[in-house]
Amino acid sequence: MLFPAPALEARPAPTSDAKPATTELAAATPAIARFLPSLTDIAFLMPVIFVFVKLTGARVLLGDGDTGWHVRTGEWILANHKVPHVDMFSFSRPGAPWFAWEWLWDVLFAGIHHFGGLASVVTVSLAIICFTTVALFRLVRRTCGNGFVAIAVTLLATGACSIHWLARPHLFTLLFFTLTLQLTARAAGDGTSAPRGKLLAWLVPLTLVWTNLHGGFFVVFLVLACYVGSNLLNAAIEADPEQRARFLRFTKPWVLTGIGCFAVTFINPYGWGLHKHIVDYLTDPYQLQHINEFQPVNFHAQYAAYYEPLMVLALVTALWDIRRRRFADVFLNLGWLHLSLIATRNIPLFAIACAPLIARSIVSVIEAARDARIAGWIRRIAARFRESSCEFELTDRIPRTHLVSALTMLLVAALLLAPKPAGAKFTSTYDPKAYPAAALPILRAAETHHIFAEDEWGDYLLYHLYPAKQVFVDGRSDFYGDDFNLAYLDVMEVRPGWQKTLDKYSIDTIAISPKFALCSTLKISRDWRVVYDDSITVVFRRTDAGRSRLTSSLVSSNEGRPRDRAITKSGNTDRKITQPGPGA
């Protein structure tokens, strides 16, 4: 038969029998053993090792300027006791409609930032990553029943996830996605009985919180759709009427859970407008063409060393699961593989989704090798591996205090929050080699009014200069819109009409990296002069000729009437927003 009826495969470490044995072993184990590290501790500390050993330290989590405007948004909400509906950060689109769709993260981390600056933001973000890795490891281990395989696959997944380790709201999507997979896997069981509705019910409050933390909440519906689609496909190919009815009956809890989750997504400050905004954002051609996170996989990048093995194993696992009619797992595997190939921002979600399925298949292959008609040495290795794994599982599952994880995290937090950081890797600031840190005094000067800078630097300037200064553009590409974003790119790439854009918004100061063509063009322009240059940032201001031409341009564009300067000048509202805190 091409598609045998779904059945639960034997697992190498029988969890039901292991519990009594573990209890007996725990009673006979010295108390000191409870303080020794376990695989769970290794999983928890895995991101810490990645960040401070393999990567460049705390600044990795501040590798994107968006953290700055998120913090400032949260401060604005706390100061004004409401969620913003219009923009207050830019002088280019003042008062335009804006969705602060991650407002809850902004508020939480604005409070965290108040007590420790960016160092506290980095510390808490790293802790979220660590808890996500532990949750993933436990999901993988529960699925495959083998700690050795689980920790190895978790290592691969962690390496792939590191591409998107940034102190931003999406970290909660990684955590909540992992929790969603845990709940749905436990609710589904082995597929021979009805889904456990009480477990699925937990997805409703989870989705409610998720909706207000990050726009990635919609992935919960993709997971639920995989289980609905699996039951429907099994029903469609099932010859036995009773079995077909059973699959259709099993579909109901998943559908009801989806309805409940969908209903609570409307409990947000923007109502149904949030849903429309997310759809517009994800289907916007500008985002797909120009935003790095939406670009296809780059197999030359460092993360490919972790991503490629997962991709190959996921394909093999999908073929294995198709044979066993585990269509929900097939949809999760291949669906997220497809999404990861077309947008790098989906790589962490793919790694999390495929990890438990890959681990289960690896364990199944090892189990099959013990009795297969293959070389004897392979069978002996498989048998010895299973025996060692079972013995280790009994010991490793003894209840622990996880003292090693706690003490290590406290040490890392102390190093990050220390008044004098212990080296560059524990310095929680934006990288001064990538951002205009040294140019800030020039940009704070009274003669600086309207600053033009790249969007990434706009985030940085917003964090350091708001509310005294506003920005031309920042990382909120969904807010500025396609026409504005394209005009901004025309300036950056010195395309026809670039000067008109600078004149339109009365730009008097430009902060730019020497790597851009705009910098070279401005250096030979009689309208601009260099007032600062440190090889990382070049700051230009208009010359007398440039100011004269600007005035003429403004007059001509308003039919002889001077432009209303109140439209473009930096606002002085919302002064209750705090200035950059410690660690900025």
- Three-class SS of 262-273: HHHCCCCCCCHH
What is the per-residue pLDDT across 561-581, written as a single tens digit (0 to 9) for each? 433 333 333 333 343 444 444
What is the per-residue pLDDT across 341-357, written as a single tens digit (0 to 9) for each? 999 999 999 999 999 99
Left if phi > 0, otherwise alpha if psi is -120 to 50, otherwise beta: which for 231? Answer: alpha
Q: Over the chain, what is the mean pLDDT?
A: 87
What mean pLDDT do residues 17-28 have?
Answer: 54
d(CA 184, CA 220): 10
What is the per-residue pLDDT across 490-539, written as a single tens digit (0 to 9) for each? 999 999 999 999 999 999 999 999 999 999 999 999 999 999 999 999 99
What mean pLDDT do residues 395-406 have?
Answer: 84
pLDDT above 60 for 387: yes
d(CA 561, CA 6): 77
Amino acid of residue 101? W
**Three-class secondary structure assignment of 200-236:** HHCHHHHHHHHHHHCHHHHHHHHHHHHHHHHHHHHHH
d(CA 196, CA 523): 68
pLDDT at 554: 65
pLDDT band at 22 (very low <50, low <70, confident <90, very high): low
d(CA 45, CA 140): 17
**Coil, helix or strand for 542?**
strand
What mean pLDDT do residues 65-88 have?
Answer: 95
pTM score: 0.89
What residue has token string 């999404």? 339
Of 346, 288, 349, give the one whose Cα is nearest residue 477: 288
pLDDT at 25: 52
What is the per-residue pLDDT across 301-331, written as a single tens digit (0 to 9) for each? 888 899 999 999 999 999 989 988 899 999 9
Work out the burial of residue 273: count CB atoms within 10 Å of its CB; fewer than 13 is exposed, 13-18 middle, 19 or more buried.
Answer: middle
d(CA 528, CA 544): 9
Strand ranges for 93-162 from DSSP E? none
d(CA 38, CA 150): 13
d(CA 293, CA 283): 14
What sections of 372-497 are H helices per DSSP? Answer: 376-396, 403-417, 440-444, 455-465, 477-480, 482-492
d(CA 265, CA 208): 6
- Residue 582 in contact with residue 112, Cβ under 8 Å? no
